[in-house]
């Protein structure tokens, strides 16, 4: 491998990384102040409107709305923040399931509910920075691929929040003689409206894209929407048992030429899928092009996704380049991740030990990887893992070659 290419495949220098955006005390206080302001405004508006409408359906509804202390409304608005995130992600999940998609993983705060081949597992992991929760569902064949499927999936989260808003407002008049319950419902309504509306605003934060941003891309039929569709399609093909080397060329997402701009998360996801295909097909030229794009994007994606990229780059070093130094450079960056990557990390440890002629350590890592194989999410991933472990064991059992 020539030196410029090898340098391009090495991990970013720490000084070049995009710093992770951490939730500071100021941000938490700002959120609470915003909730408090919203609660005070809503409480004041209810009081003003109550005296301004004497008849009609709105007047009849407001006549039964209890007077409430804004402080209680503020408190309940803040306390309902995480439940609203859970409702939001549940809305995405139910909408995706209704459109025939298959679930892969869900997360709220530090909690993960993750699919393995035989069961679902509840895990606790560091909170994903930049988002409060996620619901990942993949197409099941053609189901879940259409624009209507994706619109329903993306809109399902905000829709669930607006259903919560409607229920809270509908029940509010029933709490005439229970001001505390009325404050709870008012706070619930405010929080539901806030979460639903914010997610419909088209924006990106810490590399993550809002539901509104993705919906706008779908409506515009943008190139980004097509790339995202192909990424989903290839992931869905894997879940359906189609080997990466057998993915149709029309399903592979394009490798983006950055032209001086920083790679986006979508660029990097596309490069990751192309690299997965190239490794399985043993297409060294395509693998190097994809690995170069993937390495370039590593510093620019959200912190939670960097370990997944490092796994891909380490797999490239092990399967294509057979380069122990390149594998060793990426291996420390494989810790963490949005999903459980323990099985892949252990396989890479076995590969690295074998490259360094430490057969005992390699066999121990192989045994550990086999013990963890039930954590992989689908039958094909387990098959590919078994193939790699079997091939590694065969190399370890072969007598060393001595060139004359």
Whether residue 303 lies inside any domain: the answer is yes
Which of 218, 246, 269 finishes a domain?
A: 218
User: Do 229 and 198 reside in the same domain of the chain?
Assistant: no
Q: Count CA within 13 A, CB hemisphere, residue 296.
A: 23
User: Do 228 and 285 reside in the same domain of the chain?
Assistant: yes
User: Residue 323 and residue 10: Cα distance in Å, rounded?
Assistant: 11
* Residue with tokens 């252990």, as numbered in its chain: 346
Parent domain of 390 = 223-396
118-133 residue pLDDT tens: 889 888 876 666 667 8
45-49, 139-143, 153-157, range with the lowest pLDDT: 45-49
User: Residue 366 and residue 345: Cα distance in Å, rounded?
Assistant: 11
Grouping H, G, I as helix, E, B as strand and the rest as coil, residue 122 is strand
User: Do 303 and 269 reside in the same domain of the chain?
Assistant: yes
| Average pLDDT for the chain | 84
User: Do 278 and 200 reside in the same domain of the chain?
Assistant: no
User: Do 210 and 83 reside in the same domain of the chain?
Assistant: yes
Residue 219 CA from chain centroid, whole number: 22
Confidence category of residue 8, pLDDT binned at 50, 70, 90: confident
236-285 residue pLDDT tens: 999 999 999 999 999 999 997 655 667 888 999 999 999 999 999 999 99
User: Residue 24 and residue 401: Cα distance in Å, rounded?
Assistant: 57
* Residue with tokens 């912190």, as numbered in its chain: 303
Is the torsion defined by CA of 399, 400, 401, 403 positive or negative?
negative
Residue 99 CA from chain centroid, whole number: 20
Whether residue 22 lies inside any domain: the answer is no
166-221 residue pLDDT tens: 999 888 888 877 888 888 998 899 899 999 999 999 988 767 889 999 999 999 99
User: Do 90 and 163 reside in the same domain of the chain?
Assistant: yes
Which helix (H) or strand (E) segment is 136 a member of? strand 133-138
User: Do 338 and 389 reside in the same domain of the chain?
Assistant: yes
User: Do 259 and 176 reside in the same domain of the chain?
Assistant: no
User: Do 194 and 250 reside in the same domain of the chain?
Assistant: no
Q: Which residue, 151, 263, 130, 283, is CA-closest to 204?
A: 130
pTM: 0.83
Q: DSSP string of 327-363?
A: HHHHGGGGS--SS--HHHHHHHHHHHHHHTT-HHHHH
Whether residue 19 lies inside any domain: the answer is no
pLDDT exceeds 50 at position 24: no
Q: Are 272 and 308 a contacting pair, CB within 8 Å? A: yes
Whether residue 87 lies inside any domain: the answer is yes
Grouping H, G, I as helix, E, B as strand and the rest as coil, residue 82 is helix
Whether residue 44 lies inside any domain: the answer is no
- Angle (CA) 279-312-2 rounded to 5° is 70
User: Residue 249 and residue 254: Cα distance in Å, rounded?
Assistant: 10
User: Residue 382 and residue 373: Cα distance in Å, rounded?
Assistant: 6
User: Do 308 and 357 reside in the same domain of the chain?
Assistant: yes
pLDDT of amino acid 66: 58
Q: Are strands 120-124 and 111-115 parallel, antiparallel or unpaired?
A: antiparallel
- In percent, the amount of the chain with pLDDT more than 90 equals 56
> Which segments of 248-358 does DSSP mark as H helices, in order?
265-281, 284-297, 306-316, 324-330, 342-355
User: Do 202 and 312 reside in the same domain of the chain?
Assistant: no
Which of 218, 241, 267 finishes a domain?
A: 218
Whether residue 122 lies inside any domain: the answer is yes
Whether residue 43 lies inside any domain: the answer is no
User: Do 262 and 280 reside in the same domain of the chain?
Assistant: yes
Which of 218, 251, 267 finishes a domain?
A: 218
How many domains does the chain divide into?
A: 2
- Angle (CA) 211-212-213 rounded to 5° is 90
Whether residue 56 lies inside any domain: the answer is no
């Amino acid at each position: 491998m020539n030196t410029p290419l090898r340098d391009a495949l090495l991990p970013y220098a720490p000084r070049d990384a995009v710093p992770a955006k951490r939730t500071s005390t100021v941000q938490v206080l700002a959120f609470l102040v915003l909730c408090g302001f919203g609660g005070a405004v809503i409480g004041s508006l209810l009081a003003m409107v109550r005296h301004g409408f004497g008849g009609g359906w709105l007047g009849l509804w407001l006549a039964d709305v209890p007077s409430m202390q804004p402080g209680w409304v503020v408190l309940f608005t803040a306390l309902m923040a995480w439940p609203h995130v859970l409702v939001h992600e549940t809305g995405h999940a139910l909408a995706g399931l209704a459109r025939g998609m298959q679930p892969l993983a869900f997360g709220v705060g530090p909690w993960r509910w993750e699919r393995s081949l035989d069961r679902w597992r509840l895990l606790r992991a560091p909170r994903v920075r930049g988002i409060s929760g996620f619901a990942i569902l993949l197409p099941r064949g053609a189901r879940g691929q259409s624009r209507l499927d994706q619109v329903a999936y993306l809109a399902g989260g905000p829709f669930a929040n607006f259903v919560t808003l409607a229920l809270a407002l509908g029940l509010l008049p029933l709490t005439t003689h229970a001001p505390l319950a009325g404050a709870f419902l008012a706070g619930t309504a405010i929080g539901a409206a806030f979460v639903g509306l914010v997610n419909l605003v088209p924006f990106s934060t810490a590399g993550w894209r809002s539901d509104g941003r993705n919906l706008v891309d779908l409506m515009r039929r943008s190139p980004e929407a097509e790339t995202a569709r192909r990424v989903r399609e290839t992931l869905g093909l894997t879940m359906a048992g189609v080997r990466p080397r057998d993915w149709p060329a029309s399903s592979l997402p394009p490798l983006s030429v950055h032209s001086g701009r920083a790679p986006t998360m979508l660029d990097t996801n596309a490069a990751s899928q192309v690299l997965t295909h190239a490794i399985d097909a043993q297409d060294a030229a395509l693998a190097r092009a994809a690995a170069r794009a993937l390495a370039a994007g590593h510093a620019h994606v959200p912190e939670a996704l960097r370990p997944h990229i490092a796994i891909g780059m380490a797999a490239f070093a092990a399967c294509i380049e057979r380069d122990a130094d390149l594998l060793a450079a990426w291996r420390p960056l494989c810790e963490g991740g949005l999903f459980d990557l323990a099985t892949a990390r252990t396989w890479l440890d076995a590969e690295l030990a074998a490259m360094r002629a430490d057969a005992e350590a390699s066999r121990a890592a192989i045994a550990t990887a086999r013990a963890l194989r039930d954590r992989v999410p689908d039958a094909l991933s387990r098959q590919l893992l078994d193939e790699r472990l079997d091939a590694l064991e065969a190399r370890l059992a072969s007598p060393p070659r001595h060139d004359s």
